[in-house]
């Protein structure tokens, strides 16, 4: 079975190396017992599924979409009636084109918390309720 170093596991799970080390110490992530620590692929996959099931919603909403990327807005470019919004969610950069009105209504700014909800070829951006 394939094993992963802590740095690789952290990158794949979208967390820091220190977080992976804490999970190992807390018994939340198994290792092979080798030194330096190696994480079995099946244990890493199980942790990834657990994290996905825990969810990290930016808003208190129910949705039929299953592809949801919570992250920080890194760019907002408004040009007339349309806008481009970039969201960095872990290692993933998600770009959405939307109306400038939607950007204003959601109060999207660089540094805002937002979720990109992807259903087929459409990206829906949500912002948390006040």
Burial bucket for residue 15 (CB in 10 Å: 0-12, 13-18, 19+): middle
Arithmetic mean of pLDDT, 61-74: 76
Q: Quick check: 58 pLDDT over 50?
A: no
Distance of CA 61 to the CA centre of its chain: 17
Arithmetic mean of pLDDT, 40-68: 72
Please indicate whether residue 127 or residue 86 has the higher confidence score (pLDDT): 86
Please state, in angstroms and rounded to a whole number, the distance separating the CA atoms of residues 121 and 67. 11
Please indicate whether residue 122 or residue 74 has the higher confidence score (pLDDT): 74
Arithmetic mean of pLDDT, 70-88: 92
pLDDT tens profile 107-118: 999 888 888 888
Please indicate whether residue 79 or residue 91 has the higher confidence score (pLDDT): 79
pLDDT of residue 23: 94
Arithmetic mean of pLDDT, 100-127: 86
State pTM to two decimals.
0.53
Average pLDDT, whole number, for the chain? Answer: 85
Q: Where do we find the tokens 């690789």?
A: 8
Please indicate whether residue 96 or residue 119 has the higher confidence score (pLDDT): 96
């Amino acid at each position: 079975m394939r094993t992963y170093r802590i740095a690789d596991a952290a990158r794949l799970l979208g967390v820091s190396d220190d977080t992976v080390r804490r999970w190992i110490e807390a018994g939340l992530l198994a290792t092979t017992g080798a030194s330096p620590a190696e994480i079995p692929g099946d244990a890493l996959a199980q942790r990834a599924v657990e994290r996905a099931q825990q969810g990290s919603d930016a808003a208190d909403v129910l949705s039929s979409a299953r592809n949801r990327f919570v992250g920080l807005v890194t760019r907002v470019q408004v040009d007339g009636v349309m806008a481009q919004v970039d969201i960095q969610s872990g290692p993933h950069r998600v770009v959405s084109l939307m109306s400038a009105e939607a950007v204003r209504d959601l109060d999207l700014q660089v540094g805002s918390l937002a979720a990109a909800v992807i259903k087929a070829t459409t990206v829906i951006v949500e912002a948390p309720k006040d």
